[in-house]
Copies of this chain bind each other. A is one copy, B any other.
Amino acid sequence: MIDAPPPSVSKRIIRALLGAPIPTSKAHHERLSPLLGLPVFSSDALSSVAYATEAILGVLILLSVAALQYQIWISIAIVLLIVIISISYQQTIHAYPSGGGSYIVASDNLGPKVGLIAGAALLIDYILTVAVSVAAGVDAILSALPHLKDHIHDAPVTLSLFFIALVAFANLRGLRESGSVFAVPTYGFIISMLVVIGWGIVHILQTPAGPPQVLAPMAGKEAAFPLMFIVLRAFAAGCTALTGIEAVSNGVPAFKAPETKNAGKTLIIMSSLLSVLFIGMGFIALHMPEHYSAFRIVEASDPKYQTLIAQIAAFGFGQNSFMFYTVLAFTAAILVLAANTAFADFPRLASLLARDGYLPRYLSRQGDKLVFHNGILVLGAAAAALIVIFQGKLDALLPLYAVGVFTAFTLSQAGMVKHWRRDKGAGWKRSAFINGFGSILCLVVLCIIAFTKFFEGAWLVLILIPMVYGMFYAIKLRYDSMSKQLLITEAPHKPSGHVALLLVPRVHRGTVAALEYARQMKGECQAVHVTINEKALPDLQRKWEQYGEDVPLVVLPSPYRSLIQPVLDYVDQIRSDRPGVLITVIVAEAVSTKWYQKLLTENVAQQLKHALAKRKNVVVANTRYFLN
């Protein structure tokens, strides 16, 4: 090992950025209590209150100010949905103690085809989770620090891309899901939100009720949208609150024993908190005095736009108060954390799909930081593309969201029904009924989302899911075909001989060293010179007699002055004269130490290798000689 050359500069830079490699033997997971499990698994679900309530109001206001009152009923419906789906997933936790992601549950019970639909839906949704969470986090930051917009060019896009890069980088470095680290932003968010909401409610209850608001209908709008459609659309918008609710069921093995019990507890705590925050925010949003009220939320393009959370915090504690900044800081933090969970989940799911042959195999390879680095890069690039395409606008991204989640929910719950029917353990009928009900409910919600948000963007996801599904199958077919082609069906074909062709453009130290290499091969050895400059030929031939060690020199004319074509022709001639022969073309290549020195030499080996790429039984070997 003494003379291993030092690593290159680029390698050393990457190593310095990403830190020391992590051996496979260290692939352990810390075991989590519910207290620490909540931060790890709930950031995606809890952080959705940062946009879900606002999204509902943003739809209702299209109808009329009076219609904002429907928000209460929609919120209640969504909380009911949270409860039912949580109960459904409780069952998954107990049935799949080793982790019951939708892809696994659906594949297991409904066959690989259905599993792949769930997989496609989930992959798309993880990308959207990153884009939506980061965009919402940037909105929170810009609500707290609106001046950033003046100092940063296209702040929403620039900051979003920065955070995506940051989270991707942290994951490439091998960031582990760590309960204690994640606890600060998650509990900070929960506590500060509870304080703001609690204080806001006290505030509202203490204020004597003003005169009943004159709820003027929004002129010209209500005629265009039937009431039912708008209410359903608002409900669909609110369903984004449910994204991430399945996270706990994926990660049961990460909990302390008894795993299923602790995971179940965590799910209950999370659902309760989500319901409380969601209902509380809705209540305050409706009862704030008008100048803080929901009217503001439709003007997302207004330079003075603030998120609903910022308005609620300002209502309770005043603009620019300590609590105002605190709650927004924790909101941004938990949203970035939510993006981070997708960076753990997407590469993991992609690696499962790659292992099964539905995605390129290298997505299943863990890098030296013990992370699926290729998956991280793919996710980061896809989310960044979404941010750029949608200009970092949260209200443009949200309609795409939740379609994938509810597809996966529906299929996973349906899979659970099949599971119970096969299992037939104690109380299986009750369990099957619960999951069946959940599945049908999710399917209904999915239809509502797809129908009411179709033209706003859901169509894109509805097209993408079958496209990704088709890609899975195309890749699988290709890998199957490759495996079949690579089967050893007959005894290996013995070559009829071997010819080593040593290219000799000039006779120098490098070519002479290459000759020594050529002599290490069995069979025939020929030196080949392509002559472009006839005048230099006699000198070359004389030198070859001196140094060529009796290896014959073949001189190839080049009427068109190409260095490559005569070699190709000569190789083809040997192949047709002596069928079944193996040919090695040996090229001596100069290796310079500096990049600018490389500009002075032509890399004939690379060109030749490319040109010979389609010929069977021909190998290009290039020896190197070193210059300083």
| A residues at B contact (CB < 8 Å) | 1-5, 21-25, 360-362, 365-368, 370, 475, 478-479, 481-482, 485-489, 492-495, 498, 507-510, 512-513, 515-517, 520-523, 532, 547, 559-562, 568-569, 572-573, 575-576, 582, 584, 590-591, 597, 599-600, 602, 613-616, 619-628
Contact = CB atoms under 8 A, between A and B. Distances in A.
Contacts of A522: 520-522
Nearest to A622: B619
A23 B559 contact: yes
Contacts of A621: 584, 619-621
29 contacts: A1-B569, A1-B572, A2-B576, A3-B576, A4-B568, A4-B569, A5-B615, A24-B559, A367-B561, A370-B561, A475-B600, A478-B597, A481-B627, A482-B627, A485-B627, A485-B628, A488-B507, A488-B547, A492-B547, A495-B516, A495-B520, A498-B520, A520-B584, A584-B621, A591-B613, A616-B624, A619-B623, A620-B621, A620-B622
B523 A520 contact: yes
Given A5-B615, A516-B494, A626-B616, A360 B600 contact: yes
Contacts of A360: 599-600
B521 A520 contact: yes
A478 B625 CA distance: 16
Contacts of A532: 365
Contacts of A616: 624, 626
Nearest to A27: B561
Contacts of A21: 560, 562
Contact of A561 (B368, B517, B576, B620): B368
A392 B611 CA distance: 40
B597 A5 contact: no
Contact of A515 (B23, B475, B492, B513): B492
Nearest to A508: B486
A361 B600 contact: yes
Contacts of A481: 627
Q: Give 7 nearest A-B pairs by CB, closest first.
A: A486-B508, A5-B614, A621-B621, A368-B560, A498-B520, A23-B559, A21-B560
B25 A559 contact: yes
A493 B513 CA distance: 7
Nearest to A613: B591
Contact of A362 (B478, B512, B602): B602
B561 A24 contact: yes
A503 to B, nearest CB: 14
Contacts of A489: 509
Nearest to A23: B559
Contacts of A515: 492
Given A1-B576, A492-B515, A520-B521, A361 B25 contact: no
Given A482-B600, A520-B584, 17 more contacts: A1-B569, A3-B575, A4-B568, A23-B559, A24-B559, A24-B560, A475-B600, A482-B627, A488-B512, A492-B513, A492-B547, A495-B517, A498-B520, A520-B522, A584-B621, A616-B624, A619-B621
